[in-house]
Structure 1
């Protein structure tokens, strides 16, 4: 079933929307949640909560790209679950490694000025990603949005893990330089 029909099912309040979503995007959502959480049980729970979140958001929201809409919901739910799990000294997954890799780019300190500049930073990062080749953009987004493991990215792109690690390192350095040139204090 195509995305427009699935979205219309949500708008019609037809419970088949959830079944259609699970059939088309279940594996996608599960992969995102498992990459963040490292736990099959927690991932399944977040995916179920994603369907409820989509049900509650539509209407009034009518997503143009259903996969991105669902991906954002499951990612946010998974990050919240991760924070909950690690607050209780539990956890796993790729998130700690990914955050360590990005630590050099973001200080983690929030103040009013940084919040005001957030939109400019988002635009600059979007522009940076738009300047990359499709393969490099895919590698970067797989790692830093979907928190995919180095080995999974290597398999997806037919590369060796060392090559993926080197590509990510170069892209982080390139992003750092790109943002610094545009006046962002990192």
Structure 2
């Protein structure tokens, strides 16, 4: 079923919208959740919570790209679950590993004053990403937004894992330099 029809079902409050969403995007959403959580039950919970949040937010929202809308919900819910369940001990998930890789580029301590600047930081990062090749961009976004493993990225780009690691390292290094040039203290 087409996305516009699924969104229309949500707007009509037709419960088949959830079934259609699960059929079309269930595996995609589970992959996002499991990359962050590395736990089947938690991932299933996150995906189910995504369906509930979509049900409660459509209407008033009418997303143009349903997959991105649902993916963003799943990602945020999964991160919240990860933080709640792993306060004392962080397991080695793709989420934890990818965050540690980005630690050299972006500080994880944010004061109240800095919160307003996060939007500007996101725009600056997007500007930098637009200077990269399409492959460089999708590699970076795959790793640090979708939390894909190095192996997954290598597979979908048809390159070696060492090349992916090297590309990500160079991209992080370039991002750090770019952010410093833009006035960010790292």
Q: Would you say same fold, with TM above 0.5?
A: yes
Aligned residues: 186
Higher mean C-alpha deviation, range 121-130 or range 7-16: 121-130
Q: Determine the structure 1 residue equivalent to 2:49.
A: 49
Q: CA RMSD in A?
A: 1.3
Q: Which residue of 2 aligns with 1:129?
A: 129
Q: Deviations over 1:96-149 (max 9, x none)?
A: 111110111122221233222212111111111222111111100000001111
1:116 aligns with 2:124: no
- Structure 1 residue aligned with 2:87: 87
- 1:85 deviates by 1.7
CA contact 2:37–2:93 (8 Å) conserved in 1: yes
For residues 90 and 105 of structure 1, the distance between their equivalents in structure 2, rounded to whole angstroms, comes to 21
Range 110-119 or range 59-68, more displaced: 110-119
- TM (normalized to structure 2)? 0.95
Per the normalisation by structure 1, the TM-score is: 0.95
- Once the 2 structures are TM-superposed, how far is the Cα of residue 90 of structure 1 from its aligned partner? 6.5
Partner of 1:32: 32
Which stretches in structure 1 are left out of the alignment for 5+ residues? none
Q: Distance in 1 between matches of 2:125 and 2:107?
A: 16
Aligned equivalent of 1:61: 61
Return 5+ residue gaps in structure 2 as ranges. Answer: none
2:152 matches 1:152: yes
User: In the TM superposition, what are the counterparts of 1:17-28 in structure 2 within 5 Å?
Assistant: 17-28=17-28
Is the contact made by 1:39 and 1:92 (CA closer than 8 Å) also made in structure 2?
no
CA distance in 2, matches of 1:11, 1:52: 14
Which residue in the other structure is 2:181 paired with? 181
Match of 1:100 in 2: 100
